[in-house]
Amino acid sequence: MKKLILTFLFAAWPSATLLNAEEPPGPLDQAHAHNDYYHKRPLLDALSHGFCSVEADVFLKNGRLLVGHFQFELREKRSLESLYLEPLAKRVKANGGSVHKTKAPFHLMIDFKTDGPKTYAALQPLLEKYRFMLTEFGPDKTKTKAVTIVISGSRPRASMEKQAKRLAGYDGRMSDLGKGAGPHFMPWISDSWRSHFKWRGKGDLPAAEQTKLKRIVQQAHKDGQKVRFWAAPDNPATWAVLQQAGVDFINTDRLEALANFLRAK
């Protein structure tokens, strides 16, 4: 009888292992890991906090796409494929078609640091290898998949515009806002905060700049585009301003702090 009771209790009550196991954090649609490769575990640290967007700078060197912000940082083992595309593919397969266990859009921004057309030409066969998980862009339609690639930096606009179909979107600038480049070519509008706003994250955002920010977001959203700023103050006051204004991606180097901020909201 005693053995029967113990068996029942263990069957009815979750094991200590299950009780202590951490559930993966829910995805954070607005969280963008700026220069993600500088973290101890590129990509993986951002994913562990629920980030849905990461940024990798790449150089074309000896026919390979290597990740780093400066030439002297480049290492053969730190390629775009090994640090990002390969591990993303493994997660997508493991999670049944999604980067996170809870299905959510995921973006990989690839910032070209070398010649745009040449770097893009080297990238295309690599993207073809992972086509099964990549969003497809057409003239008037976007087929969203697990990972959406956006090209920034030395962007090869002419090369990309010639393609009827692509596995990457083009990262626009404020000068492109409202100019008719639709979301099927230009899904994002990104720019330097410091180039357009004087506010530096202390006190209240001036009324004129509030109006300007609101106008930018409204126009981009009207055109089906998402908004991101780089070089904005990386602190909770700024994150709150961006979130309230409806900015789609909040740029940060402080993964845990931004994740905690967004979850508290």
- Crossing angle of the two packed helices 236-245 and 255-264, in degrees rounded to 10: 50
Residue 163: how many CA atoms within 13 Å on its side-chain side? Answer: 19
5 occurs within a structural domain: no
Residue 87: which pLDDT band, with cuts at 50, 70 and 90?
very high
- What integer pLDDT is reported at residue 18 of this predicted model? 32
Residue owning tokens 């796409």: 65
Average pLDDT over the chain, rounded to whole?
Answer: 92
Closest CA to 126 of 26, 58, 182: 58
- Do the Cβ atoms of 187 and 176 come closer than 8 Å? no
The alpha carbon torsion through 169, 59, 53, 177 (nearest 10 deg) reads -40
Q: If you average pLDDT over residues 56-65, what whole number do you get?
A: 97
221 occurs within a structural domain: yes
**Residue 169: pLDDT above 90?**
yes
Domain that holds residue 137: 24-264
Between CA 102 and CA 196 the distance in angstroms is 36
Q: If you average pLDDT over residues 35-40, what whole number do you get?
A: 97
CATH number of the domain enclosing 85: 3.20.20.190
The number of folded domains in the chain is: 1
- What integer pLDDT is reported at residue 25 of this predicted model? 81
DSSP state of 32: E
36 occurs within a structural domain: yes
Q: If you average pLDDT over residues 111-129, what whole number do you get?
A: 98
15 occurs within a structural domain: no
154 occurs within a structural domain: yes
3 occurs within a structural domain: no
Contacts of 157 by beta carbon, 8 Å cutoff, 6+ apart? 116, 170
13 occurs within a structural domain: no
Q: If you average pLDDT over residues 129-150, what whole number do you get?
A: 98
Give tens-digit pLDDT for 195-225.
999 999 999 999 999 999 999 999 999 999 9
- What integer pLDDT is reported at residue 265 of this predicted model? 78
Q: What share of the chain is helix, strand, coil (3-state, %, to 5)?
A: 40, 25, 35
120 occurs within a structural domain: yes
Q: If you average pLDDT over residues 95-117, what whole number do you get?
A: 97
